[in-house]
Amino acid sequence: MTSSHFFFHFLSLFVIFLIIIKVSQVHGIGSVFNVQDFGASPDGKTDSSQAFLKAWDQACQNNGGGTVLIPIGTFLLNTLTLNGPCKGPMFFNINGLLKAPLGKVQDDYWLLFEHIDGLTINGQGSLDGQGPSAWSMYNDNGPNPPSSIKFNSISNAFLQGITSINSKFFHFQINKSQGVHFQNMTIIAPGESPNTDGIHIGDSNDITINKVNISTGDDCVSIGPGTFNVHISEVNCGPGHGISIGSLGKYQNEGDVNGVIVTNCNIGKTQNGLRIKSWAPSPPSKVFNVTFVDINMNYVENPIIIDQHYCPHSSCKSQGESQVQISDVKFINVKGTSASKEAVVLDCSKSVPCQGIELRGLQLTLDGQQSTFATCENANMKFNGPQIPSQCS
């Protein structure tokens, strides 16, 4: 075989390989189980929950795994639990629109995936949590509304392409999971919608969020206790409450948070930008090894804020200090405009002051010209180099 023939033979094999990879990303590997073959109706009115469950069970028990295929159409689904373990990798390929039931429901999830190792949720479709029908029906003293998708004990999951609209509570809730990756997704809810966090992570590790557009009524991304090794990059956030670690210290024996990197993100017209918050008083825990770098702010009310006196209810005020130790936190090259003159707030605990807080390369102005200032309490910090603001007032 001549070298040119070898090259074209190799090129042909490579193209075939790419086609196989593309097909596997869209449809999955192994047998395909179309929910309509199990009785799902695309009319948006007929409950298709049992058909989805049957398709999932068949795919899950298929040797080598399988794909649950949701074709174009509108499918009404009630609360649904999709269990593992499965006999191979699972693909949940959404091309249509999934609609949640209207109004208040009993469970704290709409779609629950649990005990699965190897899960891909992808496609060009959407999930509509129908939040406007339920937001006014819940209050802080009752049970939580349902998250649109909840993960329990999931390993090696990949979410790509899909859109989540108007969740009743969190859009995505990650619990006791590892190796969960979000990429090229859209998350949407009105700015006034309550508790519609885009992605909430708790007691989980090795989480990546890349190229996700999040417009919501609460935190774009919230990182709860017991979470480590989180990498957030190229996220567009706004409206909402920004990217938050916490709230922490509400319960006894919470796990620490460490190894969080947030880079190359755009945050616009949000209540907060980059935030760490803990309750006061609180039991002891730790937050450490956190880096925010190359973040662009556009008219953000609190671009940088550490709040260790977080208390959304008046009953907990003036009852003590947070015992959450915050240390080794870096804010590097955070630039843009603030909606207030006070662009940096470091409100740390008197009992366990913040340690090793570094601010470098800040350029935060009120309107592109007017300088802003920083306020700092109980914080061991340093401002490195000429910047705006350049010190605590």
pLDDT at position 311 is 81
CB-neighbour burial class of residue 71 (10 A; exposed 0-12, middle 13-18, buried 19+): middle
pLDDT at position 57 is 98
Q: How far apart, in whole angstroms, are the C-alpha atoms of residue 82 and residue 53?
A: 7
Q: Name the nearest CA neighbour of 236 among 200, 268, 260.
A: 268
Q: Name the nearest CA neighbour of 126 among 185, 195, 176.
A: 185
Q: Which helix (H) or strand (E) holds 58?
A: helix 49-60
Per residue in 67-88, pLDDT (tens digit) is: 999 999 999 999 999 999 999 9
Identify the segments of the chain with pLDDT beneath 70. Answer: 1-30, 313-318
pLDDT at position 10 is 37
Q: Which helix (H) or strand (E) holds 278?
A: strand 272-279
Q: How far apart, in whole angstroms, are the C-alpha atoms of residue 201 and residue 224?
A: 6
8 Å CB contact between 143 and 174: no
Across 8-137, the runs of DSSP E, i.e. the strands, are 31-34, 43-47, 66-70, 74-76, 80-83, 90-94, 97-99, 109-122, 126-128
Tokens of 384: 């490195």
Active site residues: 241
Alpha helices in the chain (DSSP H): 3-27, 49-60
8 Å CB contact between 91 and 118: no
CB atoms inside a 10 Å sphere around CB 86: 22
pLDDT at position 205 is 98
8 Å CB contact between 372 and 389: yes
pLDDT at position 367 is 84
Q: Which amino acid is at 308?
A: Q
Which residues touch 4 (CB under 8 Å, ≥6 apart)? none
* SS3 label, residue 109: strand
Q: How far apart, in whole angstroms, are the C-alpha atoms of residue 240 and residue 71?
A: 32
Q: How far apart, in whole angstroms, are the C-alpha atoms of residue 221 and residue 200?
A: 6
Q: How far apart, in whole angstroms, are the C-alpha atoms of residue 187 and residue 170?
A: 10
pLDDT at position 315 is 59
| Beta bridge partners of residue 68, listed in sequence order | 33, 92
Q: Which amino acid is at 125?
A: G
Q: Name the nearest CA neighbour of 276 among 297, 253, 257.
A: 257
Q: Is the C-alpha dihedral spanning 305, 311, 317, 319 positive or negative?
A: negative
